[in-house]
Amino acid sequence: MFFTKPHSVKSRMLETLRKSSVFSGLLATYAFVQIFLMVLLWSNHIGFPLNLEAMELTVLQHLKRLMDGLPLYPEPTPDFVALAYNPLYYFLAVPFAWVFGTNLFTLRFVSLLGAFGAGIVLFLAVRKETGANWWGLMASGLFAAAYQAMDIYLDTAHRDSWLVFMLLLGCYLIGQRKSLLINCIGIICMVLAFWLKQQGALFLLGSLLYLVWRDGWRKAMPFWLLATALGPILYMAIPDWMLGSRFHYFTWQVPRHWTEPTYQEFFHLIRLVLRSYSVLFAIAISVSVMAFLKRKRRIDVWNFMFPFTLISGFTAALLPASNDNVYIPMGSWFIIVSVIGLKQLADSWVIFKRRRLHLILLAASFALFLYNPLPLLSSSQSAMAYRDLVSYLNSLNGTVYAPWIGQLQDGYRFYPAAHWVPLEDLIRGPGVDEKNQPIIRTLLEPVLNPQGKAYILHNQLLQEDRMLSFLADQYILDADLGDRFQPLSTLPRRFSPGYPRYIYRYVKQEKSN
């Protein structure tokens, strides 16, 4: 018995290592499957002819204006009301529009590049901190697995994928501790994040404070000057002729009125974290607190920035009725901080390796992101349904306003074309009754008093649209098209506008007769 004991201990150790290797291999395989699945969904979505998300065609309107040399932020008109976002995403799309054309495919392709870049930076950052490709794969795999938790926004014609790409890349470069030039490029990336979406300003501030924390005020001062020049000073100094006379109105005055703390939004945030990120959140909180307590000035950029991502989630919850894309940066930080932290715990705590707790926690994190991909596939009949929609619209002898579509990319032109999202952005705020607002009535004057026959194509019953229900006084339901255009449905996310269904006809002139 005395001589067999060491042998049995050795056997148990080898068996544990073997099981760990098998478990690690299964997790790596699953991470590859998630990445492959996301790529398949991307390829399915990129050619969809209508909105995958409420604002895609309105974003395309901005790109078309830029390509035509028109201002991005003019006075609101019935034909165009600008979205309340900073303009960099539109400029990023211009060179690709020269190649692929000014269409939804181009915008989604640009977004895919941003999402692909974010996945690569996650891999590189985690590999650098852990010294292992396997851990980098875990981070990229979790990012892919979180596709639905991030509200299916990474491949839509929107700026969110580029926002998280610039934030991750900027922090990755700053964390290299290599040179003044690398730090400058990192700060420029953080500034570009702000120019993509105002949400980036908080992360820019966090990165500057990190440089002060790490290097002191004297060494950090050049980066503050650089960020100030390319951020707030440039923002305030941009002349009207460059972006439009209402640039500051749409990107500052309009969104600053949206803030409204509601228990519904905070409850939704808590539910989102518990449902999809609970394991990652618990790990990230734990390792970040330990890092601040133990390493102090040697803390890495990812842990230092973690509180700022929590603040970004809190501030995003102050914007009622937002989709969950506002939480993508926060979710990305949950992933990177927790994966790096798990590697550190596995190296430091014997119980983690002995019990394979790091593998179990990673598996649990993947499990929380589990979703059915079938509802996320766009219909194979979408191209045919789009042609049918264009044919149907051309058969109507009159103008058509489609507030939930905006303007089609080709085949037919709505008039007017002001989309409901930027219209609502103009009036939304605490205590505002959105029904029958004067500014909305003014902008929709061509709908209220058309010159001839006119129609409204809506995704829901007009009476149920709280902002536009006043139009029901002059329009009657002409046809319920049923599921005829259901293949043109938006993707299922927190708020999904659905598909074109109800056609309303103007009747005021008939009543007056």
Assess contact for 149 and 277: CB atoms under 8 A: yes
Region 402-415: mean pLDDT is: 95
Confidence of residue 509 (pLDDT cuts 50, 70, 90): low
Confidence (pLDDT) at 513: 38
Confidence (pLDDT) at 14: 47
Of 43, 37, 36, 38, residue with least CA distance to 378: 43
The whole-angstrom separation of Cα 104 and Cα 409 is 7
Phi then psi for residue 478, to 5 deg, are: -95, -35
**pLDDT tens, 347-377?**
888 777 777 888 999 999 999 999 999 999 9
Assess contact for 402 and 413: CB atoms under 8 A: no
Q: Residue type for 299, please? A: I
Assess contact for 457 and 401: CB atoms under 8 A: yes
Number of neighbours of residue 140 by Cβ within 10 angstroms: 24
Region 215-242: mean pLDDT is: 94
Q: Please give the span between the terminal C-alpha atoms of the chain, in angstroms, as a whole number.
A: 108
Is the per-residue pLDDT at 204 higher than 50? yes
Phi then psi for residue 502, to 5 deg, are: -110, 130
Is the per-residue pLDDT at 91 higher than 70? yes
Confidence of residue 491 (pLDDT cuts 50, 70, 90): very high
**pLDDT tens, 69-84?**
999 999 999 999 999 9
Region 135-141: mean pLDDT is: 97
**pLDDT tens, 40-55?**
999 999 999 999 999 9
Confidence (pLDDT) at 444: 96
Number of neighbours of residue 162 by Cβ within 10 angstroms: 23
Confidence of residue 294 (pLDDT cuts 50, 70, 90): confident
Residue 479 contacts by C-beta under 8 Å, 6 or more apart in sequence?
Answer: 502, 503
The whole-angstrom separation of Cα 513 and Cα 511 is 5
The whole-angstrom separation of Cα 54 and Cα 159 is 14
Assess contact for 72 and 181: CB atoms under 8 A: no
Of 481, 464, 473, residue with least CA distance to 420: 464
Region 20-37: mean pLDDT is: 92
Q: Which residues pair with 477 in a beta bridge?
A: 504
Confidence of residue 321 (pLDDT cuts 50, 70, 90): confident
- The answer to whether the peptide bond before residue 416 is cis (omega within 30 degrees of 0) is yes
Region 99-121: mean pLDDT is: 97
Confidence (pLDDT) at 353: 74
The whole-angstrom separation of Cα 190 and Cα 168 is 9
Confidence (pLDDT) at 355: 77
Q: pLDDT: is 371 or 16 the higher one?
A: 371
**pLDDT tens, 418-464?**
999 999 999 998 888 888 899 999 999 999 999 999 999 999 999 99
The whole-angstrom separation of Cα 62 and Cα 71 is 9
Is the per-residue pLDDT at 12 higher than 60? no
Confidence of residue 19 (pLDDT cuts 50, 70, 90): low
Confidence (pLDDT) at 3: 42
The whole-angstrom separation of Cα 410 and Cα 236 is 36
Tell me if residue 456 falls in helix, strand or coil.
Answer: strand
Average per-residue pLDDT in the chain?
A: 92
Total-model pTM: 0.93
Judged by phi (left if over 0) then psi (alpha if -120 to 50, else beta), residue 85 lies in beta
Confidence (pLDDT) at 9: 46
* Sign of CA pseudo-dihedral 313, 316, 318, 322: negative
Is the per-residue pLDDT at 2 higher than 50? no
The whole-angstrom separation of Cα 8 and Cα 380 is 59
Of 211, 317, 201, 339, residue with least CA distance to 263: 317
The whole-angstrom separation of Cα 74 and Cα 96 is 24
Confidence (pLDDT) at 11: 56
Region 142-164: mean pLDDT is: 96
**pLDDT tens, 456-485?**
999 999 999 999 999 999 999 999 999 999
What percent of the chain shows pLDDT beyond 90? 82
Is the per-residue pLDDT at 39 higher than 60? yes
Say which residue the tokens 């209508």 belong to: 50
Beta-carbon-side half-sphere exposure of residue 238 (alpha carbons within 13 Å): 20
The whole-angstrom separation of Cα 240 and Cα 226 is 23
Confidence (pLDDT) at 7: 53
Question: Which of 85-94, 289-298, 394-403 is least confident?
Answer: 289-298
What percent of the chain shows pLDDT beyond 70? 94
Region 189-200: mean pLDDT is: 97
Region 262-289: mean pLDDT is: 94
Region 141-167: mean pLDDT is: 97
